[in-house]
Amino acid sequence: LVSRTKKPEDTIVDVNGHKIGDGHPSFVFGPCAVESYEQVLAVAKSIKAKGLTMIRGGAYKPRTSPYDFQGLGLEGLKILKRVADETGLSIVTEIITPSHLEEALEYIDVIQIGARNMQNFELLKEAGMVNKPVLLKRGMSATISEFVNAAEYIISKGNTEIMLCERGIRTYETATRNTLDISAVPILKQETHLPVFVDVTHSTGRKDLLLPTAKAAIAVGADGVMAEVHPDPAVALSDSAQQMDIEQFDKFYEEITRFMNTH
C-alpha cells in the first residue's frame, strides 16, 4: 500500500493544517528530550518566531544504556501539551510501547516511532489503528526494504498518514555517529508515495555537519528536515554534544532558508 505503483500521487500529511509533502520542505526542531517546561518553552518560542509549526522532544527516551536519562514519561507529555496550548505548535514525540499510545494521544499531534522500534511490529500495528500522523524513523541497521515494510505494517492497519525519516545507518565509519544514507531519500521518493524527512542530528552526531547535510537533504528532494535544539546543550540530559543552541539554530535556519530560496 505504500508503493508508488499502487498510488502514483504524493501523500500529503496534514498536521493541524500544516501540509507535509506538498513541495515545500517542512522542519521539525526541538530538544532531544523534554527536561522542563522552561526548557521546552525556550525552544518553542524560537521555533514560533521563525513561523514554523512543529516542535519535537522526547518524553520517553529509548537510551542505549539503562543508566542514562530515560525521559520524564507522562510528565513530559504534559509539558509538551502545555507548551503546545500556549504557542499553537504541534507536538512530535516518540512513543516506545503500545501501552503508552492511547494515553499519549490526548497530548500529542504526531507519533514518532524511533530507530530502535522500527521493527516493533505490535507498536507499528497499534500506530496503524489510530487517527494521528506517524513519523517513522529508519532502524540503524535496517535496509530500505525493511524500512518500507515497517511503513507497510502501519498503513495495512488503515493509517495512511505516514512520514518516513532517514536518520543514518550503522557502518564502519566513525567520523560521524551514523552514516547518512542520502540516496535513501530519492529511492524512498521513487518507491513510495510518502513524505521523506532527514534527521541531520542523529545521522551525523556533529553540529558542524548539520547545515551541509540539511542542504543535501533538500537538494535530493527531502520533504522535511529534523534537527535538535536545546537552550543550553552543555547541560542537556541527552545528546549534549550534538544539539544546537538557540543562536546556532537561528543561524542554521537563516542559512537553510537562504539555500532554499536560491536553489
Site residues, ligand PEP (CB under 6 A): 32, 58, 94, 114-116, 137, 167, 199, 202
Q: Interface residues for Mn ion in 31-90 (CB under 5 A)? A: 32
Residue with C-alpha cell 489510530? 130
Q: Which does 126 bind (CB under 5 to 8 A by kind): ligand PEP, Mn ion, none?
A: none
Q: Which does 137 bind (CB under 5 to 8 A by kind): Mn ion, ligand PEP, none?
A: ligand PEP
| Cα four-point dihedral sign 44, 46, 47, 49 | positive
d(CA 170, CA 127): 26
227: its cell numbers: 534537527
Taking the complex as a whole, the smallest distance from the CB of residue 227 to ligand PEP amounts, in Å, to 10
Is the Cα dihedral 137, 44, 261, 206 positive or negative?
A: negative
- Least distance to ligand PEP from the beta carbon of 12, Å? 23
Site for Mn ion in 203-242 (CB under 5 A): 239
Burial category of 7 from C-beta neighbours within 10 Å (exposed 0-12, middle 13-18, buried 19 and up): middle
CA atoms within 13 A on the CB side of 246: 14
Give me the least distance between CB of 96 and ligand PEP, in Å please: 10
β-bridge partners, 11: none
Bridge-based pairing state of the strands 13-15 and 18-20: antiparallel
Select 37 or 69, whichever has its Cβ closest to ligand PEP: 69
* Minimum CB distance to ligand PEP smaller for 7 or for 179: 179
Helix H or strand E encompassing 219: helix 210-219
Q: CB-wise, 161 or 239, nearer to Mn ion?
A: 239
Write down the least CB distance from residue 46 to ligand PEP, Å. 18
**Closer residue to ligand PEP, CB minimum distance, 21 or 57:** 57
Residue ranges that bind Mn ion, judged by CB under 5 A: 32, 239
